[in-house]
Amino acid sequence: MLQRTSSKRIAVQPGMSYNVYFKAKSENWVTTEHLEACQYQLLWLDANGGVLARIYSHPHWIYPQTFWQQYGRGHPADSEGSVALVRLTPPAGAAWLDLKIGWIRHPSGATPENPAGTNPAGSKLFVDDLVVDAFEAGSGGSLPTLSAVRSPGGITLTWTRVLEAADSVTGSWAPIQGATSPLTVKVDQPERFFRSRQ
């Protein structure tokens, strides 16, 4: 399990909101049929390390493969829906932000011919590019906003300020020239990221 020590937890600053980015991959190929999964928890902690709120993997499980994948959605423990791991507002009393990522081990692809399975015990899980950035929460509508809703033509984006896009969550970001809100974008690329900026 990847678990930050208490000295490596991220201090929550008053009046700030947070973006969380990370990617993961496994040493061997993993399939959902083999029930070999891992789970993450994003934890808001009080000053004594007590858990105030959790955001789990969405939809609860993630299935890392032999190539890097970015994970950017979560399932709040007290909600039926999901959230993007951006512009997260800490709950009242939050002093620390913590992240845990670990395997849920099951026999994976074991057969009489291959009793060890395709992802045997001892296989490695890699986590990289963990980035947590903070920004001033501000008030009401003064900050840029962005929402994404699945539609028949793809995904419809609605935003304020300037819409930017990138092929990777780490950039490089560029404004979409001439774009007006709302905008429907086709789902025809392996990955595409959008954000709204001042």
* The predicted structure's pLDDT at residue 104: 66
Contacts of 3 (CB under 8 A, 6+ apart): 98, 100, 101, 102
* The predicted structure's pLDDT at residue 95: 93
Does the pTM of the predicted model rise above 0.85?
A: no
Q: What is the DSSP string of 64-132?
A: --SS-EEE-EEEETT-SS-EESSSBPPPTT--EEEEEEEEE----S--SS-TT-SS-TT--EEEEEEEE
Per-residue confidence in pLDDT tens, the chain, 198 aa = 566 666 678 889 888 888 888 888 888 777 655 556 678 889 999 999 999 999 988 655 667 788 888 888 888 988 877 888 888 989 999 999 998 887 766 656 667 777 766 666 677 888 888 888 887 765 444 567 788 888 877 888 888 778 898 888 887 888 888 888 888 888 887 788 888 887
Q: Which helix (H) or strand (E) holds 136?
A: strand 125-136
What separation in angstroms does the CA of 182 have from each of 73, 165, 192?
22, 15, 17
Domain with CATH 2.60.120 in the chain: 8-136
- What class has domain 8-136? mainly beta
* The predicted structure's pLDDT at residue 48: 92
